[in-house]
Chain A
């Protein structure tokens, strides 16, 4: 049985020549977490993974497994399993030999190696494939061999470096479910690296959003999406509309802001929020939180802005509009499930409505 491990990174730093890839990362990954490093390419997420695996040495900082420092332990003694982006299956070995490799290195008796290898292959639905060469497998099958090869050694951690990026869209969705199922069954602490925000939201128990070598925010998928703490996070995870607002009135459970374009916007006053008059906020509204109505229609929602539809794109499950409001700003609106509703034409005047809860205020200094 796999013993789930807790991982701590303490002020981890790494430079490659002039380039600072990782600029002081401190975080804790709890036992059994499915923890994702999410960020654009070059943000340092793969470097962190490679430091945990032992391929790259941190310049400064510590890596702890269950409280023990592992900085000085070479990769072959760390017992962490890594699945590479290109799978790194050895072309000169069969599927069986690929999966059995780690067990042979651990000097298990032959019969045990055989039993464990076959079991691992069965776990990823590859029974009967053990004599094939990697080149005779499809991309998805290769991916699963790589996973079996890693899991068969019962590693204390599972490291996945963009493992789904080489698969086509349908297979990617299927493998996501597979990964979640296997991870939940084994309860293994899993570190996942991706630039795909959808993947991160679906798979993870917790996400660290990274940019330029730094962690911007750590939280559950729901926290990250609904409560981004900075414009970068809101921008990178999903799409957003931003308004610059200044506090003009404070009440018991709501605040009135005035945007730089001059619209009044009402937001909820969250607990622990102590705004002062005149303070500046970045107001973040997700496109799917906004509803569209005809200008003369009534609405129960606190916030209403008029505008003109500039573009509309019909996607089947939703319609994406761009609405130009007074002052020239363009607001993105997603209307979900447009089946029974009339579509708004380009050039048509519309009313944007959204409730106070749908605005996420981010304080600005």
Chain B
């Protein structure tokens, strides 16, 4: 019987594996394969012709260079902000240190495209600052024009990824390593350059590459700022205006995927180095922070206030806009109103409702999938674990535009049996896209939740008379519940502001979620108020979710946003 049970478990596990793999194949791998197939065939032959075409056309070449440039610049300016902040808050001890650490994460709460709108109000051609400049000096500065504006918005939104990863790896540097260097005579700048910096490098590089991937992926910010000479907007425009038969769209998709995969691969490489560097025994393990005061403290304070002040400007702008009756060509709104909130909660409540429905569904499905996959990876007695893991983690490097294009390509022309409609004209396609895009995060949360349960905890239950099913429900499940909830919350908050795949996949206006609503409202001057109100809702959703995640994880702020 025992013997038979063993064999049964193997069989049923293999069955679950096959079902899971089939799902991942249909919704992750196959769309990608189809995109590759289209991009690399010319009259049903393998060919690089489309790629050669791509780089011969000046618009595409410019878009490619602009995307690279935006990624590099966002990383560069993000590092200028993050590295000093990380160093100050980890290595120095002063009042307000925790405040800086908290405020430094806040930009993540604001979806970048919402921030783009707000920044236009403040830094745009007729925004707050330029109006003041005109009044006082008779001149204005074009902060938000063209690529500059995109880079500015993306830098301000994404720099926390660098800040968090750099802080974490700086905090992880074993103080005894620095003490050893001091003992040998190194101090100050030379200590930092020769010992501290190299040790924190892997975490920093991982954060920087993450920013690069996000910038490549970001479709909404350039669209909102009406700057389309970048890869993601070009792919979007080709597919939505010329149609899914247009080859150029696919070529752009492939280039985006290649860029993301390369960055992700490099990030993983650096992270594995970081583990190697940190495995140290002995030492106190607590970083030593120096108390500072006087001039030094004032400089640190001034820098932090300046940088964080700018990065929090969009929050302020969007908040004001959501209550503004009219706000153009004036420094502050002239009159205030609650109408925009009435609009989004009473007149068109479907945006908020849809978001709750889609994101809760997709978080639930994601956790379910994630825990099954994680369980198979950790405790499974099956073949093909590596493959399952690899495919499930793939969406990390598939930009939203690419996944959406793949879905359109695969599902658009084929009506489903019984309902006689293609999958892409049902709202469920959004749930599927969100689930697929967040799977790496939910999977990792579930994996961590299961991994922390030492096998002997389950064996102890078996030993005391509980069979496998009861052991799972009384021991395994309650112990992993916290991790699963955190994973679900994380999926929920990130999906609720997801726009790059949403724009392409929303089948009908009334199926649109909150992020789509913001995008649509922001297209017209009258819509900006309700759009901003939706933006405030999005900020609150993400802020509450992030707070809860950190509560559940109890691992300090920002566990959720690290690679």
A-side interface residues toward B, CB under 8 Å? 53-55, 57, 71-77, 79-82, 84-86, 88, 90-92, 101-102, 105-106, 149-150, 153
Contact = CB atoms under 8 A, between A and B. Distances in A.
B142 to A, nearest CB: 58
B465 A88 contact: no
Given A88-B457, A105-B466, 16 more contacts: A53-B463, A54-B462, A55-B463, A71-B2, A72-B2, A72-B3, A74-B2, A75-B463, A77-B465, A81-B463, A81-B464, A101-B461, A102-B464, A102-B465, A105-B470, A149-B464
Nearest to A75: B462
Contact of A88 (B6, B459, B467, B478): B459
B379 to A, nearest CB: 13
A92 B479 contact: yes
Contacts of B474: 101
A34 to B, nearest CB: 20
Contacts of B454: 86, 88
B448 to A, nearest CB: 15
B86 to A, nearest CB: 32
Contacts of B12: none
Interface string B337-356: 00000000000000000000
Interface of B: 1-3, 5-6, 454, 456-457, 459-467, 470-471, 474-475, 478-479
B456 A86 contact: yes
A350 B333 CA distance: 103
A57 B6 contact: yes
Nearest to B452: A91
A57 B462 contact: no
Contacts, number: 74
Contacts of B466: 76, 101, 105
Nearest to A53: B463
A105 B456 CA distance: 18
B464 A101 contact: yes
Per DSSP, chain A at the interface is loop
A90 B5 contact: no
B6 A82 contact: no
A153 B464 contact: yes
A220 B470 CA distance: 41
Contacts of A82: 459-460, 463
Contacts of B3: 57, 72
B1 A105 contact: no
Contacts of B467: 74, 76
Given A57-B6, A105-B465, A105-B470, A74 B1 contact: yes
A273 B478 CA distance: 64
A93 B1 CA distance: 32
A76 to B, nearest CB: 5
Contacts of A81: 463-464
A153 B465 contact: yes
B49 to A, nearest CB: 50
Contacts of A85: 456
Contacts of B465: 76-77, 79, 102, 105-106, 153
A296 to B, nearest CB: 52
B459 A92 contact: no
A88 B460 contact: yes
Nearest to A55: B459
